[in-house]
Chains A and B, each alone.
Chain A
């Protein structure tokens, strides 16, 4: 049974399906087909594309406009890839498609591949979908497709739980609803008034809907929720179907969604947070100015860094967030900066009994594609190194080269970049004035603070306090004295224990990292190099002698609950934060940047509210008085 407090832990069941003689997937649970036996693709086009009037609406999109479709029942993703393919054909090149789909029983990736394989004309789309398709874990998973032109949000879980939550952050944002599903007679549970209400709340005033069914109860439910409903001939042998739109007259006035933001937006900070934000805003066609004291000078300037999710065995906000963020990062980096990432596996050694218990429990609960438990012997085989501990192995995780990645992101940034320090932030009418250290000013409609713990100084005069805690860290760059014989040269996997060891890049490994709370000094300390190497030697006593090549110290910006601080500052309209990335900024930043961009543009958010609220700057103000 679902737990009301946290639908994230809905027990997710994979779809039970078989393929019939025509090769169409059939649900064993519902005894119904996923798409028409005759011609699934033609039916999808007829019912959902044609009866939502999509071709004409897409042809009329403005440059850079985003068209939002929501769907009940993702199934095989046929409706999605069909809509995507036709969107590419008809919409202006700069317009974007955002497709949100709800699914209670996800198909396995193999079943999905098989279900789509017969649509050879759409093969290039199916392949891309298969490559980013999330693991069967409850929650919202954002997938980036077509170089970011297409966004797919897959929401795994019963839509009767997830839709009422999702709609809170997606009010008046949907242009067209695809009301799909198994036949109402076969799956009456799904066809409930809360579905129709969710459709209405999330629909733009002029939104349309279409559905393959013409059942009376569905028609009445849609009408009761505020839709004008029309019966039209159904596809093939089906007599009738329903289509229609929201009757805006009946609809309480809602704020215009997708407001075009008056340019420009200012982003402060050129670390992984700031440059990801610039990227997300640029993708949305928003004029952006970047202001930073330097580039890759802070925590993000390291030579190598690990990318992996922090997992708990239980569904905690931390674990759920990192899983969602990792899913996004895992595809984002290779798509945007393939040269800079090496996702060849990562292991987390069980270096004490608590870790052992946690990692074992994580492995027992997680899909194997995310994390598995391995014995020391297996880990030795994975790495060729004399590992003594059992541990968790994450096949899809790995490392990247943050400093090089940032240069590459900056090179692609088309906005203005001021290498300056912001000394003050002041409201200026409905805009914000940023004073720079060189005496000049910049006026911006919105400002994203992505300057890590230095944000404290800018927020203080505005009477905004956030618990940003500086934590000094130093990494030690080493060369193995006998690289060839030590086995280090052949290992491609990151090894995490209390610290971490990266595979060699250009002959040099990164050994991390010290952890000194409250210290903002970034001078190099021989003692911390020693600590880093000693802690590694505890795990790998047989390792070759290591020659220290250089060291780098920087300051992490952490928070008391280990989650980043991302979203709008309600006390200062127009200010947004992407702060507090702690020790896992590389994993968290791409999804956090999407969250900021969505908030700024009024688009559906990449997290369900129970998580985005846990990242919101307001969360630290305790509710008092009950």
Chain B
């Protein structure tokens, strides 16, 4: 799959995930969405159109700032990444 196709496929999940989100879930979603947008842009700039690279790059970006987060936030973010991956695989 092309990167852009994958992005179009999983991006709506962010809007879906916020429906009944409490403050912590909203924080996790906003945090991840910020990273997601930037990672996509960076991959594009690096001439990467291969969708396979998206999740490893997202994981790497998130883990660089992991120390800023509480364990509860980390758990929300990991959960959301898993849901994005599931959507990608669907």
Contacts and interface: CB of A to CB of B under 8 A. Distances in A.
A314 B29 contact: yes
A465 B45 contact: yes
Given A4-B68, A353-B16, A561-B37, 7 more contacts: A6-B27, A312-B33, A316-B33, A318-B37, A358-B15, A361-B19, A561-B40
B64 to A, nearest CB: 6
Interface string B25-37: 0110111011001
A619 B27 contact: no
A65 to B, nearest CB: 38
Interface in B44-90: 44-46, 57, 60, 64-65, 68-69, 73
A614 B42 CA distance: 12
B6 interface: no
A11 B26 CA distance: 12
Q: Which of A358, A360, A361, A559 has the most B CB atoms < 10 Å from its CB?
A: A361
Interface string A552-573: 0000000111110000000000
Contacts of B30: 6, 9, 312, 314-316, 319
A621 B45 contact: yes
A62 interface: no
A559 B41 contact: yes
A562 B41 CA distance: 9
B41 A561 contact: yes
Contacts of A354: 12, 15-16
B34 A316 contact: yes
A317 B18 CA distance: 16
Contacts of B21: 313-314, 361
A285 interface: no
Contact of A317 (B12, B15, B37, B39): B37
Chain A interface mostly helix, strand, loop or mixed?
loop
Contacts of A353: 16
Contacts of A562: 37
A314 B18 CA distance: 8
30 contacts: A3-B27, A4-B68, A5-B31, A5-B65, A5-B69, A6-B30, A6-B34, A314-B21, A314-B27, A316-B30, A316-B34, A317-B37, A318-B34, A354-B15, A355-B15, A357-B16, A361-B19, A361-B26, A365-B26, A467-B45, A560-B41, A560-B45, A561-B41, A563-B37, A614-B38, A621-B42, A622-B39, A622-B42, A626-B60, A626-B64
A315 B33 CA distance: 9
B19 A357 contact: yes
B16 A560 contact: no
A355 B15 CA distance: 7
Contact of A358 (B18, B37, B68): B18
A569 to B, nearest CB: 15
Contacts of B12: 354
Contacts of A9: 27, 30
Nearest to B23: A11
A353 B14 CA distance: 13
A323 B64 CA distance: 27
Contacts of A621: 42, 45
B45 A620 contact: yes
A238 interface: no
Closest 8 CB pairs of A and B: A314-B30, A560-B41, A561-B37, A622-B42, A358-B15, A5-B68, A561-B41, A620-B45
B26 A467 contact: no
A308 to B, nearest CB: 17
Interface in A605-626: 614, 619-623, 626
B40 A313 contact: no
Interface in A1-42: 3-6, 9, 11
Nearest to B15: A358
B64 A467 contact: no
B9 to A, nearest CB: 12
A552 to B, nearest CB: 27
A294 B43 CA distance: 35
Interface string A459-488: 000000101000000000000000000000
Given A3-B73, A314-B26, A467 B37 contact: no
Contact of A313 (B18, B34, B42, B73): B18
Contact of B27 (A312, A315, A361, A467): A315
Nearest to A622: B42
Contact of A357 (B15, B34, B37, B73): B15
Contact of A467 (B39, B41, B73): B41
A560 B19 contact: no
A3 B29 CA distance: 13
A361 B60 contact: no
A365 B60 CA distance: 30
Given A559-B41, A620-B45, A360 B19 contact: yes
A620 B41 contact: yes
Nearest to B66: A5
A357 B18 contact: yes
Nearest to B29: A314
Contacts of A626: 60, 64
A622 to B, nearest CB: 4
Contacts of A6: 27, 30-31, 34
Nearest to A623: B64
B75 to A, nearest CB: 14
A622 B15 contact: no
Please indicate which of the listed interface residues A318, A357, A626 has the most CB atoms of chain B within 10 Å of its own CB. A357
Contacts of B64: 623, 626
Given A312-B33, A316-B30, A361-B21, A619 B16 contact: no
